[in-house]
Amino acid sequence: MKEILSEIGRLNHIAIAVPDIEKASSIWENALGANITSTQSLPEHGVKVVFIESPNTKVELLEPLTNQSPISKFLERNPNGGMHHICYEVSNLENAAKKLKSVGAKILGDGFPKIGAHGNPVIFLNPGDFSGTLIELEEIK
């Protein structure tokens, strides 16, 4: 029997890069009637963020704080904004990373978890392995 190292968990969030977070969040709020949080700056991640809450997950709008941010590079290619990544929860990131390496999927950066925007360890996976989609795995205890 095949050893199962990790199980994919809840969809934690979908992240959308936007050039103007105030403008973007007001349309989500006014047109969709969404519950949105106030804007937070996360300088260590180089972004401003707003969370749009829905019953089963959340959407995060991300605006870059500087042009050094990876989000800035994304916006150069997608000036009106667009979906940047999706984030799944996993219960054990180390096991998930082992499993990914064993099937040849690449982890971005040095391959080791970093502390993400919610204070939990995260890794990002090579979009080329996942239908062109950047996937974040976040360890939720």
Least distance in Å: CB of 19 to Co ion?
18
Quick check: 37 and 28 in contact, CB under 8 A? no
Q: How distant, in Å, are the alpha carbons of 33, 78, 91, 107, 117 from that of 48? A: 21, 18, 27, 25, 11
Least distance in Å: CB of 128 to Co ion?
19
Query: Hey, what amino acid is at 63?
Result: E
**Nearer to Co ion (CB atom), residue 87 or residue 100:** 87
**Nearer to Co ion (CB atom), residue 63 or residue 136:** 136
Rounded Cα distance between 94 and 87, Å, is 16
Catalytic residue numbers?
136
**Nearer to Co ion (CB atom), residue 15 or residue 107:** 15
Least distance in Å: CB of 85 to Co ion?
6
Residues that bind Co ion (CB under 5 A): 15, 87, 136
Which of these, 85, 30, 75, lies nearest to 52 by C-alpha position? Answer: 30
